Amino acid sequence: MIDRIDHLEPDAMVKVTASTRYLMPFFSSLVQGGFPSPAESYLDKVCDLNDLCITSPEATYFVRVTGDSMIGDRIEPGDVLIVDCSRTPSDGKIVIVWYDGGHAVKRIRYVDKMIVLESSNSNYTPIYVHPGENFSVTGVVTYNLQKF
């Protein structure tokens, strides 16, 4: 059973719309951890986060994370996940699921005919989904937007 704190609130999900585009500078040089070269600071093009993070706008939504079940994957409370419904939820992917009356973010594993939903926080036990249970994957997480 998923603890209440682990559920994603319905108002935390937002459908993606690309009606407003904010173009930001995108530099051609890589960022170094050492001393940067001033000669490498050339503007290559502008970057649109819609182009960078969203491949299927009609099948993409944002969701804000609550709970701490995925902190081992650096998914923290308050983060915004970009979720693509058109992607196939393959083994080991981080997904948004509907289970036990609510949405949650988990890593999905397939074991024979059973599905195992794993948290990356050792305080949470795996959830075993058996055939016939009320369960669905509502999308694959493609990006995590965090504020430092």
Q: Using an 8 Å Cβ cutoff, are 81 and 62 in contact? A: yes
Among the listed residues 28, 45, 56, 69, the single catalytic one is 69
What is the Cα gyration radius of the chain? 18
Catalytic-residue membership of 113: no
Among the listed residues 106, 113, 119, 147, the single catalytic one is 106
Of all helices (H) and strands (E), which one includes residue 145?
strand 135-145
In this structure, the strands spanning 135-145 and 80-84 are antiparallel
Catalytic-residue membership of 15: no
- The residues carrying an active-site annotation are 69, 106
